[in-house]
């Protein structure tokens, strides 16, 4: 079994979900008392968040590249970045290490393609919904059409992530808001919606939504288990 390197803490609420998913995935495949071989480097999210909102992406890249090198030095065979947003600096992180990087958008796109999805809604931070590092990859490399909410809805999605979900706060009122936004994306032609922030699955699930939801945390972890056991 290969050792999974998880660059986490962004936020640690979703890193908990990753750890559970990785271990449950290995146990489901191998049975008994088997669990995943995982190295976690959990960074201080307050520092990352400050740099994100200041637009200092080069500084976040340097910080996370150093953390990734530590995982490699510790014996990780490949790397997961346990956050959608910080895949913005995935090229810099990838350049800093010699082990493979399993990209969250690639794993998600392959799952969408397997499900016959061509038009997909995207929820996430403002960075993920508005910038090209994520949407562009889905469109250019996988031929998907990506829809995002309107400006006011994007602001609400973003604020709920940072002000509630990253703090472990799950509010019924925010669930109602998210489900309404998902319904609007479905009305605009989305066949499914990507939960493109690793905390969003803490708030909404498939049973409540107007269209299928693709939980990037679960998808990323499942792809990592497959690679670890390959």
Compute how many other C-beta atoms are within 10 angstroms of the C-beta atom of residue 209. 18
Catalytic residues: 83, 197
8 Å CB contact between 80 and 154:
no
CA–CA distance, 227 with 106 (Å, rounded to integer): 14
Q: Where are the alpha helices (DSSP H) in the chain?
A: 12-30, 45-54, 57-74, 90-96, 104-114, 126-130, 132-142, 151-163, 172-187, 216-229
Nearest-CA neighbor of 117 among 20, 21, 213?
213
Collapsing DSSP to helix, strand or coil, 56 comes out as coil
């Amino acid at each position: 079994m290969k050792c999974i390197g998880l660059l986490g803490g962004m936020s640690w609420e979703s890193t908990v979900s990753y750890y559970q998913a990785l271990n449950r995935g290995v146990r489901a495949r191998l049975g008994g008392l088997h669990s995943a071989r995982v190295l976690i480097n959990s960074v201080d999210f307050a520092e990352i968040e400050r740099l994100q909102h200041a637009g200092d992406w080069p500084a976040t890249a340097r910080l996370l590249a150093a953390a990734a090198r530590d995982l490699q030095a510790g014996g990780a065979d490949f790397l997961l970045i346990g956050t959608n947003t910080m895949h913005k600096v995935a090229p810099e992180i990838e350049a800093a290490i010699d082990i493979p990087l399993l990209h969250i958008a690639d794993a998600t796109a392959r799952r969408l393609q397997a499900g016959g999805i061509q038009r997909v809604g995207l929820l996430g931070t403002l960075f993920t919904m508005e910038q090209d590092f994520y949407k562009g990859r889905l469109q250019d490399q996988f031929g998907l059409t990506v829809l995002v909410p309107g400006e006011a809805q994007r602001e609400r999605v973003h604020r709920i992530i940072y002000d509630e979900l990253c703090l472990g706060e799950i509010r019924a009122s925010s669930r109602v808001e998210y489900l309404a936004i998902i319904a609007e994306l479905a009305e605009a032609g989305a066949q499914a919606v990507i939960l493109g922030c690793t905390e969003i699955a803490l708030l909404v699930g498939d049973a409540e939504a107007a269209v299928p939801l693709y939980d990037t945390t679960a998808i990323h972890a499942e792809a990592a288990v497959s690679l670890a056991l390959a």
